[in-house]
Chains A and B, each alone.
Chain A
């Protein structure tokens, strides 16, 4: 299974019957492919729909039925449509059980940066700031590193999305939570050693009690000296 699907499949295990869930663009979208059997989840698209369905058959595209990226979708039985104030009322008002978003960096305390790289990529925050500020649970779906550099860092160099810490980060290597404001390795993905996670993580990790303790001392993990994010290349 490829890295993206591994991440999506693990996140799908967090879903429970009856939840209202928002999936961001990219890896988060794939979570819908792994919903456990026997449960019904309401997926919200922030452009104004609960009950987003799969891509329509050829010839069945409706120009007024799209995902948040403007791509044609379908609506499932029981779907409902609403305006942007209602959409963000659901998000900000504590009605959204889980938001799954992509990430550029997550820091030691669980603070997320996912909406801009100054001077390089300024797409705008879209709904990300509202989603992180308002959802009951925030889950970040991202690859563990970018071009070999850790994305789970001591402190985000990139502009933050919110001052509210995320609840869970799921990568192709690990599941990391932030109990008591401290990045904590909760699980490793199948076949991944704790040492592999430490070596590719810049943040200082605590370890869940049920995890096998790492044998390598922290200083020898080699994770300390990565170039800063955002330099030329």
Chain B
């Protein structure tokens, strides 16, 4: 793990990259990284996230700045801009059931090719997907998801990069921290090694590549 300045971290991200961005309606989204993506005008991005938040919040800022080509999300209902760009054909929106999205990301980070789930069977979410029967029950084969970069929000990072999360700001963050080639973490608090007890570490330090240094 290396500490890095915010602007240098975002400068590593090429135009057209695929990003996983933590957060649930903006809660647990690394806002400084989002703001810096907008400042550096990193465009043509694909974002994998739970939702597109709302205008002015989290991933909503990337939508408003028209930096996204495609989103893979479970919900866009609180962001009218996403719906408008989708209907205008400017943004590809792949809607995935939330539990399926979580497991596809987990599979990507855990070395699995995909998962089998009954969620979506008999709905338009099953279109184009392979069905597999196990013990007489039908499941959809949902492929794993990975990204070039994961932008992760943590409550506490220690100097090595061990991470702890806060309450509902945890959501997709620990899953995404496993599922990207390069993991960039923005933490609310950076503390000496030992402050986080081993039993309380949620994301182990070796998976973290960069920790944003405090400004």
Contacts and interface: CB of A to CB of B under 8 A. Distances in A.
A130 B27 contact: no
A46 B167 contact: no
A130 B100 contact: yes
Interface stretch (B8-16, B62-70, B72-80, B207-215): B72-80
Interface residues of A, number: 40
Contacts, number: 150
Contacts of B4: none
> Which one of A75, A87, A130, A164 has the highest number of Cβ atoms from chain B below 10 Å of its Cβ?
A130
Contacts of B168: 45, 47-49, 64-66, 81
Interface in A156-193: 159-164
B95 A47 contact: no
Contacts of A122: 76, 83, 86, 95
Interface string A181-221: 00000000000000000000000000000000000000000
Given A64-B168, A123-B75, A125-B125, A83 B175 contact: yes
B98 A88 contact: yes
A124 B51 contact: yes
Contacts of A88: 98-99, 102-103
B167 A65 contact: yes
B141 to A, nearest CB: 16
B172 A83 contact: yes
Nearest to A123: B77
Given A130-B100, A160-B122, A163-B121, A84 B75 contact: no
A159 B155 CA distance: 39
A34 interface: no
A159 B126 CA distance: 12
Given A123-B75, A124-B77, A163 B98 contact: no
B133 interface: no
B83 to A, nearest CB: 6
A187 B166 CA distance: 44
A126 B24 contact: no
A91 B51 CA distance: 19
A134 to B, nearest CB: 7
Interface of B: 24-28, 50-51, 53-54, 57, 73-78, 83, 86, 95, 97-103, 106, 117-125, 155, 165-175, 202
30 contacts: A48-B24, A49-B167, A63-B27, A64-B28, A64-B155, A64-B168, A65-B167, A69-B78, A70-B24, A70-B25, A70-B26, A70-B78, A84-B98, A85-B103, A87-B99, A92-B117, A123-B76, A125-B75, A125-B95, A125-B98, A126-B77, A126-B97, A129-B97, A129-B120, A129-B123, A133-B119, A134-B99, A159-B123, A161-B123, A162-B121
